[in-house]
Amino acid sequence: MLQDSVGEVTTKYHALSVPLSLECGVSLSGVKIAYECYGRADGKNVILVCHPLTGDAHAAGFHKGDAKPGWWDGIIGPGKALDTNRYCVIAANVLGGCKGSTGPSSIDPATGKPYGTTFPVITIRDMVHAEHQLLEDLGISELYAVIGGSMGGMQAMQWSVEFPAFVRRVVCIAAAGYTTPMHIAFGAVGRAAIMSDPEWNGGEYPAERKPTHGLSLARMMAHITYLSDESMRTKFGRRLQKLDTFGYGFETEFSVESYLQHQGETFVERFDPNSYLYITRAVDYYDLTKNGSLTDGLAGTEAKFLIISVSSDWLYPPYLSQEIMLALTTNGREARYAEIVSPHGHDGFLLEHAQLNYIVGQFLTPMIVEDLMTNNPPSIQETASIREAAELMIGHEINHLPVVLEDGVLSGIVTSWDIAKSVAGDFKSLAEIMTKDVITIQRSDSLRLAASLMEKHAISALPVVDDSNRVLGMLTSETLSLTEVLQ
Ligand code: SAM
């Protein structure tokens, strides 16, 4: 698979054409959404990427002068799972964010000052409604897919509930159908760290005097939940950062301490403390269950789903993805489940590009006959002898030989079984032993169709033909099973 970059990209800003009716009852006008767009839209090929808690609209490619690409560059680009040669990929910063979309650090037009805590409390549903309005304003009336991990996965699931007819495929990674008490608990500690920082000042702080201490603590704590026991052992062990022996004090000594501190310090440079409060609160409220049932909550969905978990994720363990699967399949939805095998914990969805490219790529762009067939296979004319057919099959080590007319049009098929039959029955010509009613397939057909035809007719190869029944290739059950394609 060609792994390439979308190249240099820029963030765009869009003012929503209508006010947003928020779940808390407030109507919020003048909402601006920051977004990036990669690939060309054709009306049916738009994929929306939803970002996790502290992500942004810069999901792929490079901003001018940057050495580091967007946060999900590993799976977005030409030839990658979110193939920008095929799809138009749009990523937007969430409502309530601080990376260009309207949030608590934006200026309230009514006061001319930042909203701070006067910003209305938002939910994952509100974020999704903002994204929907953005797409409508951009003239997009359906989504080929919506995809996200963690809080992005929550948005993707919420999309399927809020706008069932708008979204055709949903990819939800490392998330759940509702926020767990454990996650709410971590959110509460993070918010307490921010709000107990004197600089927070009830949410009113100047840009140059943010409650960085509290925000840094919140990030340090949250970051632990994104890792795993194994990844921390591997990455840090019990190593000391600078000293050879214990310092017998309370300065930063262990590598893991130093790492977390660094994470906290760099985070405050790129994130707004009030945004952190609002977004974590939105996550707390996320709950797709209805009457306590996720099955009821997902009953109105229409999309096809791919639900992915990460084996070592203890923040959103695989059982939570399996709960979604159970609810979807109980509702008769088409849903596929995959577990990324990774030691990286929750962060696995941002790091395991190879597995994601394969799993997500297969779901979004299933392989077709063309991808697996052998091109220009040997063939034989009806006038040839049985011996010539046998020699050709032995020479090419094949069991199936298409029989063609002079212009390459398929007229039959001969297999090694037919050759054996000719010996036993003393047949003399190819026409006597070949099968005339050949089961064929076309290059753009699905592998699922190919597999079901082979099973139904108890055959192990299909000639691939064009509209004029000319032989283009062969597809064998051997190749099919080698790729483990069960689409
Ligand atoms: N082992 C066989 C195979 O590999 O296809 C299946 C057993 S069946 C008894 C063999 C018969 O199926 C042969 O007479 C062969 O000509 C026929 N056959 C094989 N592929 C076919 C196809 N694509 N369409 C129709 N007949 C086919």
Distance 459 CA to ligand 1 centre (A): 5
* Ligand 1 near 417 CB (within 6 A): yes
27 catalytic residue (yes or no): no
Dihedral sign from CA coordinates of 83, 84, 88, 89: positive
Write down all domains in the chain, each with its CATH number in brackets.
12-364 (3.40.50.1820), 370-482 (3.10.580.10)
Q: Which listed residue (272, 313, 347, 418) is catalytic?
A: 313
User: What pLDDT is stored for residue 427 in this prediction?
Assistant: 87
* Ligand 1 near 461 CB (within 6 A): yes
CB-side neighbour CA atoms (13 Å) of 69: 15
User: What pLDDT is stored for residue 482 in this prediction?
Assistant: 67
CA distance 389 to 227: 61
CA distance 278 to 194: 12
Distance 362 CA to ligand 1 centre (A): 30
Q: Are 465 and 440 in contact (CB under 8 A)?
A: yes
Distance 415 CA to ligand 1 centre (A): 6
196 catalytic residue (yes or no): no
User: What pLDDT is stored for residue 3 in this prediction?
Assistant: 53
* Ligand 1 near 458 CB (within 6 A): yes
Number of H helices, E strands in the chain: 17, 18
Q: Which of 347, 121, 117 has its CA nearest to residue 224?
A: 347
DSSP per-residue codes, 403-452: EE-TTSBEEEEEEHHHHHHHHHHT--BHHHHSBSS---B-TTSBHHHHHH
CA distance 16 to 136: 9
Q: How confident is the model over 10-57, as pLDDT tens digits?
A: 999 999 999 999 999 999 999 999 999 999 999 899 999 999 999 999
Distance 453 CA to ligand 1 centre (A): 12
Residue 439 has phi, psi (to 5 degrees) of -85, 125
Distance 462 CA to ligand 1 centre (A): 9
What is each CA distance from 155 to 135, 286, 476, in whole angstroms?
15, 9, 41
Residue 344 has phi, psi (to 5 degrees) of -85, 5
User: What pLDDT is stored for residue 17 in this prediction?
Assistant: 98
Q: Which listed residue (183, 213, 346, 400) is catalytic?
A: 346
What is each CA distance from 118 to 133, 192, 203, in whole angstroms?
23, 18, 9
CA distance 127 to 125: 5
Return the ligand 1 atom nearest residue 413 CA: 16
To test the ligand 1 pocket, which listed residue (417, 422, 452, 469) has its Cβ within 8 A of the most ligand atoms? 417
To test the ligand 1 pocket, which listed residue (379, 415, 421, 469) has its Cβ within 8 A of the most ligand atoms? 415
Q: How confident is the model over 403-460, as pLDDT tens digits?
A: 999 899 999 999 999 999 898 888 889 999 999 999 999 999 999 999 999 999 999 9
* Ligand 1 near 438 CB (within 6 A): yes
To test the ligand 1 pocket, which listed residue (413, 422, 477, 481) has its Cβ within 8 A of the most ligand atoms? 413
Q: Are 480 and 447 in contact (CB under 8 A)?
A: yes
Burial 218-256 (b: 16+ CB within 10 A, else e): bbbbbbebbbbeebbeeebeeebeeeeeeeeeeebbbbb
CA distance 130 to 18: 10
Distance 366 CA to ligand 1 centre (A): 27
* Whole-structure pTM value: 0.84
Match 């596929």 to its residue by tokens: 336
Task: List, in sequence order, every residue forming a beta bridge with 461; answer none if it has no partner.
Answer: 476
* Ligand 1 near 60 CB (within 6 A): no
262 catalytic residue (yes or no): no
* Ligand 1 near 439 CB (within 6 A): yes
To test the ligand 1 pocket, which listed residue (427, 459, 469) has its Cβ within 8 A of the most ligand atoms? 459
User: What pLDDT is stored for residue 487 in this prediction?
Assistant: 42
* Ligand 1 near 462 CB (within 6 A): yes
Q: Are 479 and 377 in contact (CB under 8 A)?
A: no
Return the ligand 1 atom nearest residue 435 CA: 16
- Supply 197's token pair: 């920082």
Residues in the chain, pLDDT under 50: 1-2, 485-487
Residue 25, Cβ density class (10 Å: 0-12 exposed, 13-18 middle, ≥19 buried): exposed
**Atom 25 (ligand 1) nearest CA:** 438
